[in-house]
């Protein structure tokens, strides 16, 4: 039996199993909903990035885990062990990483509107780089750094004009974005000039991130080419030599059978060729390369276990199967009509001959996990698994309707480790006065 997540199989009881853990038993022991991730898969994904930089670029780079995909202490520890850095986007993520013992110098602080407090906190903690998004941020960083008597290493975020948010990509015109300094309008050039003149800032490199859930190599190659030429242009114009090129993340993953992710090795092979070619053409030193995978590190390593409750059949229209979670633990359908694959954890090999709408329990009609999902005939009380929920689920979870957040569990060699325990009603009252 093949599932879209490689780490799943069926055990002798006929139940869905991950890393030697029977997922029906996990549901009984820890309750539902529950997020369960396969630790070996997360580590394997980390190694694929780290190894690809070694293999195709002489190890002259660093893979950062974009921690907004799944941020908790357990993940920062795991990422540190795998020799990666982390991309953080808020004071809260910095705090979580440092609380887990993550080395500050391997944190890269992103965002389009970091607050004064966050910037000051990040600089005091000694984060490795701040990825400055715009003029306001550069001015703020320079001022705070001056007051603290330090020089801050900054990477400047550029919008390179490659939009790859969908299955195909657009070459120009991606100037309507809240992120980054725009290349086509000359804004990027201006900002680099400004940063170069600032006393308490050292520009170490440039950054771009062209989208998410991307399935093609071409937009990444094009972005690398544009960024390399930008490095050369800025060296000629402002005498700024960017030693670091941060190419962002956005590698696609499999949510359903339709999705066809690219191989990380192929990506690094293609991109490093482009970088080396332009470096030779423009006579600039080879930059230290940074990549920032988030989704592709954790998404396919994780699933969510739910218990089926109400089943409502509307003849000729659809069948709603409601589960004991929903938009509070997985808001991706209500945010962007994302698609998922679901399978019965009790009966994963049964014929998938029913078409259902998997619905949540919140007071919102849009609170669905998916529509037209093909699955075996389900009964009330049955444990179902929604696959590929390792990224942007727990990290996007809320307490809407005062529903506590599920636990985050890691399966490793037949054992379950609790990374985040289930929230209690009391936890939800902690800030209530």
Ligand X SMILES: *Cc1c(COP(=O)(O)O)cnc(C)c1O
Q: Binding of ligand X at residue 208 (CB under 6 A)?
A: no
Q: How far apart are CA 179 and CA 379, in angstroms?
A: 46
Residue 402: CB partners within 8 Å, gap ≥ 6?
425, 428
Q: Is 110 in the site for ligand X (CB under 6 A)?
A: yes
Cα separations in angstroms, 365 against 309, 311, 320, 337, 428: 17, 15, 11, 13, 24
- Of 307 and 338, the one with the shorter C-beta distance to ligand X is 338
Supply the minimum distance, in Å, between the C-beta of residue 291 and ligand X: 9
Place of tokens 């998922």: 340
Identify which range of 148-156, 260-268, 288-296, 310-318 contacts ligand X by CB under 6 A: 288-296
- Told to check if 161 binds ligand X by CB under 6 A, we report no
**Strand blocks (E) in 271-393:** 288-291, 302-314, 318-323, 342-344, 354-359, 368-375, 383-387
Q: Is 363 among the residues known to form the active site?
A: yes
- Residue 161 or 294: which CB sits closer to ligand X? 294
- Which is the catalytic residue, given 7, 21, 363, 431? 363
Stretch that binds ligand X, among 47-55, 62-70, 142-150, 188-196 (CB under 6 A): 62-70
Distance CA(91)–CA(114), nearest Å, equals 9
- Does 69 contact ligand X by CB under 6 A? yes
Among 61, 85, 161, 293, binds ligand X (CB under 6 A): 293
Cβ 192 to ligand X shortest distance, Å: 18
For position 114 contacting ligand X by CB under 6 A, the verdict is no
If binding is defined by CB under 6 A, does position 251 make contact with ligand X? yes
- Per CB under 6 A, which region of 32-40, 245-253, 326-334, 353-361 contacts ligand X? 245-253
Tokens read off for 187: 């804004």
Please state the closest distance from residue 415 (CB atom) to ligand X, in A: 28
Q: Is 348 in the site for ligand X (CB under 6 A)?
A: no
Residues 6+ apart with CB under 8 A from 383: 23, 24, 27, 32, 305, 306, 307, 308, 344, 345, 346
Q: Which of 160, 180, 249, 325 binds ligand X (CB under 6 A)?
A: 249
Picking from 47, 49, 54, 99, the residue whose alpha carbon sits closest to that of residue 73 is 99
Q: Quick check: 332 binds ligand X (CB under 6 A)?
A: no
Cα-only R_g, the chain: 23
* Distance in angstroms (rounded) separating the CA atoms of residues 206 and 204: 7
Q: Which is nearer to ligand X, 295 or 361 (CB)?
A: 295
Q: Distance between CA atoms of 263 and 356, rounded to whole angstroms? A: 32
The least CB distance from residue 396 to ligand X, in Å, is 12
Separation of CA 148 from chain center = 32
Q: Which residue, 394, 347, 407, is CA-closest to 375?
A: 347
Q: Out of 38, 163, 292, 382, which residue is the one contacting ligand X (CB under 6 A)?
A: 292
For the bound state, the minimum distance from the C-beta of residue 252 to ligand X, rounded and expressed in Å, comes to: 8
- Please tell me whether residue 61 binds ligand X under the rule CB under 6 A: no
Q: Provide CB contacts within 8 A for 58, sequence distance 6+.
A: none
Residue number of the CB closest to ligand X reads 294
State in angstroms the smallest separation of the CB of 8 from ligand X.
Answer: 22
In the list 66, 195, 384, 386, the residue contacting ligand X (rule: CB under 6 A) is 66
The b-or-e profile of 69-99 (16+ CB within 10 A means b, else e) is: bbbbbbbbebbbebebbbbbbbbebbebbbe
Task: Catalog residues that contact ligand X under the rule CB under 6 A.
Answer: 66, 68-69, 87, 110, 209, 212, 248-251, 292-296
Catalytic annotation, residues: 363
């Amino acid at each position: 039996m093949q599932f879209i997540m490689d780490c799943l199989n069926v055990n002798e009881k006929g139940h869905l199993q991950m890393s030697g853990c029977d997922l029906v038993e996990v549901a009984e022991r820890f309750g539902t909903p529950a997020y369960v991730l396969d630790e070996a898969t997360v580590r394997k994904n980390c190694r694929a990035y780290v190894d690809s930089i070694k293999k195709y670029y002489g190890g002259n780079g660093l893979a950062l885990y974009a921690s907004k995909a799944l941020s908790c202490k357990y993940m920062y520890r795991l990422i540190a062990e795998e020799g990666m850095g982390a991309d953080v986007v808020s004071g809260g993520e910095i705090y979580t990483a440092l609380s887990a013992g993550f080395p500050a110098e391997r944190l890269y602080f992103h965002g389009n509107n970091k607050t004064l407090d966050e910037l000051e906190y990040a600089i005091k903690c000694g984060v490795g780089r701040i990825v400055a998004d715009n003029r306001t941020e550069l001015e703020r960083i320079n001022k705070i750094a001056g007051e603290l008597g330090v020089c801050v290493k900054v990477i400047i975020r550029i919008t390179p004009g490659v939009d790859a948010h969908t299955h195909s990509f657009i070459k120009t015109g991606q100037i309507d974005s809240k992120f980054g300094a725009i290349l086509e309008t000359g804004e990027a050039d201006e900002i680099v000039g400004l940063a170069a003149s600032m006393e308490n800032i050292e520009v170490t490199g440039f950054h771009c991130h062209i989208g998410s859930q991307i399935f093609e190599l071409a937009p990444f190659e094009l972005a690398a080419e544009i960024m390399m030429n930008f490095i050369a242009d800025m060296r000629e114009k402002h005498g700024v030599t960017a030693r670091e090129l941060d190419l962002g993340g956005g590698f696609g993953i499999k949510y359903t059978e339709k999705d066809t992710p690219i191989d990380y090795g192929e990506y690094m092979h293609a991109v490093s060729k482009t970088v080396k070619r332009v470096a030779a053409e423009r006579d600039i030193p080879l930059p230290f390369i940074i990549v920032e995978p988030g989704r592709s590190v954790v998404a396919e390593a994780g699933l969510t276990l739910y218990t089926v409750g109400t089943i409502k059949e509307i003849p000729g229209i659809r069948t709603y199967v409601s589960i004991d979670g929903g938009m509070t633990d997985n808001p991706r359908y209500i945010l962007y009509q994302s698609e998922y694959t679901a399978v019965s954890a009790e009966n994963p090999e049964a014929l998938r001959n029913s078409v259902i709408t998997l619905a949540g329990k919140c007071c919102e009609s849009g609170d669905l996990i998916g529509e037209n999902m093909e699955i075996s005939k389900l009964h009330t009380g049955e444990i179902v698994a929604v696959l590929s929920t390792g990224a942007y689920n727990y990290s996007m979870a809320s307490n809407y309707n005062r529903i506590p957040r599920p636990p985050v569990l890691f399966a490793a060699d037949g054992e379950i480790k609790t990374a985040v325990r289930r929230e209690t009603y009391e936890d939800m009252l902690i800030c209530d006065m």
